[in-house]
């Protein structure tokens, strides 16, 4: 099977498993797991931030951040396609007791004017208190779109002027950093909290890290415990994450190249309608004429190619480190015959 359903389907390589096998571990609830401590320090340093905390999922890192930045009854500002709103099980309401102000952004990205227009009047008791904004980079449902860094700087100014915390859902931040030739430290200077996933394009089996100030991470550690996310000898997992950061970041450009190759071939086909601009490792396109999204998904499956229909007329393909150049060639040959 050639599996384009998600970049979460990767399996650890022998080298990664070897790093896991040799990890030194301890009880992380006592903060005594040396490998987790190493990962947390490494990531905090990488972003030029003060502290970090290892968590089992990106949903948990996002939800902890939201919980730490808000009080029940407050409001979170984000794009309507955001993972924090669409795909975290209603967690914003469930965990933080907050409402959401959704912005109708552009391919998953919002701008400073939209943030400003979404902030409620502090003195109006009818309104929830706007407490934070959350950005997603790359934006998953935006087809892996990347923010222009200048736009992020403008949003930060608006947040500062209005006492809003600014969180980054950076599940695929390294895809953006590689695609736009940016540096993690630029992001560390802007955001109050950043969540990164090691289990997506970087190929670790499990793991996300939340990064912030010392005080913020102390608070996050308490919330993580309350959410049931305190882990014990999870250094075996952190070792995979360290391996992923050391070995699998620069190669993301290969995934982006593969995505372009598929996009070029798909665009030639009559049954492919509008395709979101392909900036990183995700392709989202409209299906028309002889196929519906489900029919195309089934047709591809007959050729051992797995894709996901994300709506009645949209297919998503995600490229990752278990997709080889040979698989891309094979897929291109299949697409040409459809």
Ligand X SMILES: *Cc1c(COP(=O)(O)O)cnc(C)c1O
Q: Which residues form the interface with ligand X (CB under 6 A)?
A: 57-59, 62, 83, 136, 140, 169, 171, 197, 199-200, 208
* Least distance (Å) between residue 250 CB and ligand X: 21
Q: How far apart are CA 265 and CA 329, in angstroms?
A: 11
* Least distance (Å) between residue 58 CB and ligand X: 2
Q: Give whichever of 20 and 81 is closer to ligand X, judged by the CB atom.
A: 81
Q: Give whichever of 62 and 114 is closer to ligand X, judged by the CB atom.
A: 62
Q: Give whichever of 63 and 297 is closer to ligand X, judged by the CB atom.
A: 63
* Least distance (Å) between residue 320 CB and ligand X: 12
The phi, psi pair for 85, rounded to 5°, reads -95, -45
Q: Give whichever of 58 and 212 is closer to ligand X, judged by the CB atom.
A: 58
Q: Give whichever of 114 and 137 is closer to ligand X, judged by the CB atom.
A: 137
Strands 272-275 and 208-212: unpaired
Q: What is the DSSP string of 8-72?
A: T-----HHHHHHHHT-----GGGT--HHHHHHHHHHHHHTT-SEEEEES-HHHHHHHHHHHH--T
Q: How far apart are CA 174 and CA 202, in angstroms?
A: 8
* Least distance (Å) between residue 168 CB and ligand X: 10
Q: Give whichever of 59 and 119 is closer to ligand X, judged by the CB atom.
A: 59
Q: How far apart are CA 278 and CA 281, in angstroms?
A: 7
* Least distance (Å) between residue 291 CB and ligand X: 26
Collect all residues with Cβ–Cβ distance below 8 Å to 52 and sequence separation of at least 6: 39, 40, 41, 43, 44, 209, 210, 211, 212, 217
Q: Give whichever of 137 and 158 is closer to ligand X, judged by the CB atom.
A: 137
* Least distance (Å) between residue 208 CB and ligand X: 6
Q: Give whichever of 2 and 318 is closer to ligand X, judged by the CB atom.
A: 318
* Least distance (Å) between residue 30 CB and ligand X: 25
Classify 281 as helix, strand or coil: coil
Q: Give whichever of 112 and 202 is closer to ligand X, judged by the CB atom.
A: 202
Q: Do the beta carbons of residue 46 and residue 187 sit within 8 Å?
A: no
Q: What is the CA radius of gyration of the chain?
A: 20
Encode 57-70 in three state secondary structure.
Answer: CHHHHHHHHHHHHC
Q: Do the beta carbons of residue 12 and residue 203 sit within 8 Å?
A: yes
Chain centroid to Cα 26, Å, comes to 28
Residue 128's CB: how many other CB atoms inside 10 A? 17
* Least distance (Å) between residue 18 CB and ligand X: 24
The phi, psi pair for 138, rounded to 5°, reads -75, 160
Using CB atoms, what's the residue nearest to ligand X? 58
Residue with tokens 């892996």: 144
The maximal CA–CA distance of the chain, rounded, in angstroms, is 62
* Least distance (Å) between residue 15 CB and ligand X: 23
Classify 237 as helix, strand or coil: helix
């Amino acid at each position: 099977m050639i599996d384009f359903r998600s970049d979460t389907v990767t399996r650890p390589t022998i080298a990664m498993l070897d790093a896991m096998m040799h990890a030194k571990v301890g009880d992380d609830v006592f903060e005594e797991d040396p490998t987790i401590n190493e990962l947390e320090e490494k990531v905090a340093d990488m972003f030029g931030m003060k502290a970090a905390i290892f968590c089992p999922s990106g949903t948990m890192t996002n939800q902890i951040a939201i919980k730490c930045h808000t009080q029940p009854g407050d409001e979170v500002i984000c794009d309507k396609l955001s993972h924090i709103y669409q795909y975290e099980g209603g967690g914003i309401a469930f965990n933080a007791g907050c409402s959401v102000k959704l912005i109708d952004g552009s391919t998953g990205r919002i701008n400073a004017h939209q943030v400003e227009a979404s902030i409620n009047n502090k003195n109006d008791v009818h309104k929830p208190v706007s407490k934070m904004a959350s950005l997603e980079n790359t934006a998953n449902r935006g087809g892996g779109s990347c923010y222009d860094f200048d736009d992020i700087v403008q949003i930060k100014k608006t947040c500062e002027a209005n006492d809003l915390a600014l969180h980054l859902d950076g599940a695929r931040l390294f895809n953006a950093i590689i695609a736009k030739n940016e540096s993690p430290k630029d992001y560390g200077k802007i955001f109050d909290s950043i969540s990164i996933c090691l289990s997506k394009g970087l190929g670790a089996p499990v793991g996300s890290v939340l990064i912030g100030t010392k005080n913020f991470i102390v608070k996050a550690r308490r919330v993580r415990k309350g959410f049931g996310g305190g882990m014990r000898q999870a250094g075996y997992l952190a070792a995979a994450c360290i391996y992923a950061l050391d070995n699998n970041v620069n190669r993301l450009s290969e995934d982006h190249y593969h995505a372009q190759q598929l996009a070029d071939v798909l665009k030639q086909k009559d049954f492919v309608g509008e395709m979101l601009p392909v900036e990183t490792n995700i392709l989202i396109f409209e299906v028309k004429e002889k196929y519906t999204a489900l029919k195309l998904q089934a047709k591809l499956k007959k050729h051992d190619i797995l894709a996901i229909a994300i709506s009645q007329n949209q297919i998503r393909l995600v490229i990752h480190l278990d997709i080889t150049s040979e698989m891309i060639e094979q897929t291109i040959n299949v697409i040409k015959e459809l």
